[in-house]
Structure formats: structure tokens, C-alpha cells
Amino acid sequence: MKPQIVTFLIKCPDQKGIVSKLTHFFYQEGFNLVSAQQYANSIDDMFFMRLRIASDHSVVISRDQLEERFVRLAAAYDIVWKVDYGVSKQSVAIMVSHTTHNLYDLLQRNKEQKLNCNVKMVVSNHTKLKSIADMFDVPFYHLPVTKETKKQQEQQLIDLFDGQGIDLIVMARYMQILSNDFINHYPNKIINIHHSFLPAFQGANPYNRAYERGVKLIGATAHYATEDLDEGPIIEQDVERVTHESTPKTLKDIGADIETMVLARAVKCHLNNQIIVDNNKAIVFPETGE
């Protein structure tokens, strides 16, 4: 039987000997160190660490005991921490409106088991993309919304997500602005994707206006949703060079391709516990072969 992998995400003020203290703690508790990734921000004087440890049958400590003992260490060094025991896959809800590319890509990756999750549902304010969810045998929920029914519709979403135990919400081009109450109900659990022109070319037809300006770079940004619209902690970005020969259509096609890659990478990083959020910045540790 493969040993269970436990992941700790840690942030605290940077201080002498913190790495030794952390690794020695898990050694004393009988765990093997699988990987240790760390980052010290000298500007903010903060320390971040992603520790993956392995337990085997010789380790008899319970989760409660482990966390109770770690709490004492955390208090001594002002550590903010999160732990994942790797026992169950996270449950994901995908929210969409009209655009297909991100939805297709995520569902295909999920079908091929390239994402460490269970996509429990697709939710939309329209019925246009129901056939795609049906194609992948994923339940589809149609929850229409208007300006007058926004509060009630968001309560329906909360009831649905909480009732189904959703761990992560992916806005795969869900073209509605979520309320602060909704966003704050799921802190750092909503990932959004958009083109990287912002704050330029806001609103409809951004690629038409990008063409008119003769842009030379286009790209995409995936970030956590916060109260500040499209300004949450950035998880992943990418760009591609274009030329004066690009048309609005080719710009849009290239942008869609970049979006699918960026969103998939961001979702994968979240599911693999590679992210520590610090204020409005996401510290994203690279993959270690998991």
C-alpha cells in the first residue's frame, strides 16, 4: 500500500531557524519528508513553505493529535497554516454562460483524469451549454438570473453548492458579476478567467478594440475572485505575441486557446495545494511530480 501523502501550507514571519523547526517537528512525529518548497519574501519579511510528508503504518498518531501538537508550534512562531490529507478528491462546480472553450477543456481533462477532482456539476444562467455537460455525463443546472432576481439566484447557488459539498467553484466564462456576499461565502474558492488586457478593453468585444489599437501581446489571467472585480490574487497568466496581420477573429481564437491553458493550470495548482494566499498575492509553488 502506498504511503499517505499529507500536505502542509505554511506562512509566518521570516525568522532564523524556522525551516529546521518545521522539518524537525515532523521528523519527531515519525513522518518522512517527501518534498519541501520554501520562499522568503525579504521585502515583506514573510516566509512561505509547502511541505509534503508521508505516513506509513508505523505512524500511529491521529489527525487530531497531529494538529493539536502542530498548533503549539504554530503559536510559538506565529504560523498560519492549512493541511490536506490527500484522502478524497475535491468536488468542483463549473459556472458558464455562453462560451464553450473553457468548459470543453475542463470536462475533457476531468474525463482523462488529468485534474485531481470530481466535477460534480455545470451551472449556467442559460441552457445553451447543457448539451456539453450531457456529453460528459455531468449534471447540468439552469439557474437564470436577472437584475431583480440576483439575490435569490445567488442564494439558490449557495444552497446547491453547500448541499453538494462543493470545494471549488470555477468561473469558466460565467458572465455575471458575483455579489460580495456570495464571494465572501467562498473565500479563495472561486477561480475566474479573463483576457489580460484589463484594465484596458473592458466590457464587450475586447478583441475588436485590441485589433483597433494594434496590440502586440494578448493573453489570459486566472485569479481568485474577490470583492474588487477582476483584481483578486493572480494564480496563473500567459501571453502570446501577435502582429498587425492578426484579425479580430484570429486574436479571439488565440485568446481562447491561452485561456484554456491558463485556467486549467490554475485549477490544477489549487487542487494540488500549491497555493498560499497572502493578502492580495498568490504564492504558487511549482509542481513536484505529483
CATH topology of domain 4-84: Alpha-Beta Plaits (3.30.70)
- Which has the closest alpha carbon to 69: 36, 27, 35, 34? 27
pTM of the predicted structure, to 2 decimals: 0.94
For the chain (length 290 residues), average pLDDT per consecutive 10? 84 96 93 94 97 76 89 97 93 97 97 96 98 98 96 97 98 95 97 82 78 90 94 95 92 93 98 96 88
How far is it, in rounded angstroms, from Cα 134 to Cα 194? 25
- What are the residue ranges spanned by the domains of the chain? 4-84, 90-284
How far is it, in rounded angstroms, from Cα 240 to Cα 101? 18
Q: Which three cell numbers stand for residue 128?
A: 445553451
Q: CA distances (Å), 268 to each of 214, 232, 253, 271, 272, in order? A: 33, 18, 23, 5, 6
Q: What is the per-residue pLDDT for 59?
A: 61
Q: Which three cell numbers stand for residue 13?
A: 514571519
How far is it, in rounded angstroms, from Cα 266 to Cα 271? 9
The single-letter code of the amino acid at 163 is G
- Radius of gyration of the chain, Cα coordinates, nearest whole angstrom: 21
Q: What is the per-residue pLDDT for 205?
A: 79
How far is CA 87 from its chain centroid?
19
**Burial (0-12, 13-18, 19+ Cβ within 10 Å), 99:** middle
* Angle CA 211–215–217, to nearest 5: 125
Q: What is the DSSP string of 211-263?
A: HHHT-SEEEEEEEE--SSTT-S-EEEEEEEE--TT--HHHHHHHHHHHHHHHH
Q: What is the per-residue pLDDT for 60?
A: 62
- 4-84 matches 90-284 in fold: no
The 3-state DSSP class for residue 135 equals helix
Ranges of beta strands (E only) in the chain are 4-13, 32-41, 46-55, 80-84, 90-96, 117-124, 140-142, 168-171, 190-195, 217-224, 234-241, 275-278, 281-284
Which is the CATH superfamily of the domain at 90-284? Formyl transferase, N-terminal domain (3.40.50.170)
Q: Active-site positions?
A: 230
Residue pair 29/60 in contact by the 8 Å Cβ criterion: no
